[in-house]
Amino acid sequence: MPHHKTALRVAAPVAVLALALTACGGGDSETDAKSSASPEVSASPSQAASGGELATGESATGKVAEDPGAVTYEVVAQKVEVGTEAEAAKAVADAADAKGKVLAVAHVKYTHKSGPALTEGSDVHDGTTIFADGQRGGVLIGASDDAPGCEGPYDVENWKQGESHVFCETYVIPANATSVEVHWSEEDGEPYVWKFPQK
């Protein structure tokens, strides 16, 4: 599915850029920026190794250790909205940091498949990252909390089996990227990857 170029609303006047934009490639580890907030995952011994490329609309399934217990989720990256350089400049504290960069907002749908109901938010989104042309983008914390169609993962109360929620992740990526990828993985698992070619 092609990306959607739309005006992106930013939750705070200036969101927090967790990775230095000058190091936007950030390294190969998906846990660089979120190591302290990574979901705990318990894999079943009979379960096949996770990860791999998925087609548009195809879902992944994985377990996340939540409070009060492990929850199995179905996860699918629905779309990525790519903004403009001007929007990126407004979203960061120093506009010079955003030169040649744009915001990419991934909309990811999570469905509670099995496990206990959640009453105090969820950590399932912690395994989600955005890559551009094979390099991890810079995460922009708090930038998509009130974007249209996005919910706050810690605002969801009483999440029961069968219910779905869409959480969004905002990253800063190079403006000339030809491919944007949404990655989601269980802890210690290989990432599932959805690709969104750019024009």
Mean pLDDT score of the chain: 79
3 state DSSP class of 85:
helix
| pLDDT classification of 145: cutoffs 50, 70, 90 | low
Contact assessment for residue 164 and residue 111, using Cβ atoms and an 8 Å cutoff: yes
| Whole-number Cα distances in Å, 76 to 107, 128, 130 | 9, 11, 14
Contact assessment for residue 39 and residue 45, using Cβ atoms and an 8 Å cutoff: no
What DSSP designation does 48 have? P
3 state DSSP class of 105:
strand
Give backbone dihedrals phi and psi of 21, rounded to 5 degrees, phi first: -65, -30
pLDDT one-digit tens code per residue, 45-91: 333 357 999 999 999 999 999 988 999 999 999 999 999 999 999 98
- CA dist., res. 52 & res. 164, Å (int): 23
Round to the nearest angstrom and report the end-to-end CA distance of the chain.
12
- Tokens at residue 98, please? 């955003």
Q: Can you give the pTM of this predicted structure?
A: 0.77
Q: Which of 9-13, 123-127, 133-137, 154-158 has the lowest mean pLDDT?
A: 9-13
| pLDDT at 36 exceeding the cut of 60 | no
- Tokens at residue 50, please? 């996770």
- CA dist., res. 66 & res. 72, Å (int): 10
